[in-house]
Amino acid sequence: KYEKMGADALLVISPYYNKTSKSGLVKHFIQIADSVETSILIYNIPGRTGINIPYEVMEEISRHKNIVGVKEASGNFSAIATLMSLSDGKVDLYSGHDDQIVTLLSLGGKGVISVLSNVAPRQTHDICASYFAGDVKTSAALQLKAIPLITELFSEVNPIPVKAAMNMMGKGVGPLRMPLTEMEPQNQEKLKKAMTAYGIL
């Protein structure tokens, strides 16, 4: 049904609250992959789900034709490097953290699934494009220049700050839905200053 609704791919997280074993994770993801024709990116975000997807699980499930890659937001670079070594190029790796784009690219990453790109799409593109063009120095410099803004974009629970930022830019993305609440005024002021310093406001 997702294909009929126009989905190009699915971003699938690990089960939360009822955490499971490695074998349970494998069965969970394979069952989802078997039930769709759509390509799947696994989203490893233990900070939200409370469970890290072990690299052994990711390597095993990536053999499924529908599971094409991982959005990696664990920050565990040793495990990520091991996954990329074991998978032998079979896993498309994407950074799930805007402050770790260049690091993930250096381990064989294909890009980033980004919050920053909502307010600075060209700059986020340029971080990746410079790296892929072989200009790692420029890529790293662009990454570091964006850090103060990225910090403020995550000063409260995502997507609170990025929606505030987009509204400041006149994008008109509207209010938040509960349980998310509007950004604290002092944090919004810090975000505004970071956006101004970065040149997008």
**Residues labelled as active-site residues:** 43, 71
Interatomic CA distance for residues 83 and 148, integer angstroms: 30
Nearest to 110 by CA among 93, 98, 97, 126: 93
- Integer-rounded Cα Rg, in Å, for the chain is 18
Write out 2-16 in H/E/C secondary structure.
CCCCCCCEEEEECCC
Three-state DSSP state, 17: coil
Tokens describing residue 68:
């094409």
Give the Cα separation of 92 and 28 in Å (integer). Answer: 20
In SS3 terms, 112-178 reads as ECCCHHHCCHHHHHHHHHHHHCCCHHHHHHHHHHHHHHHHHHCCCCCCHHHHHHHHHCCCCCCCCCC
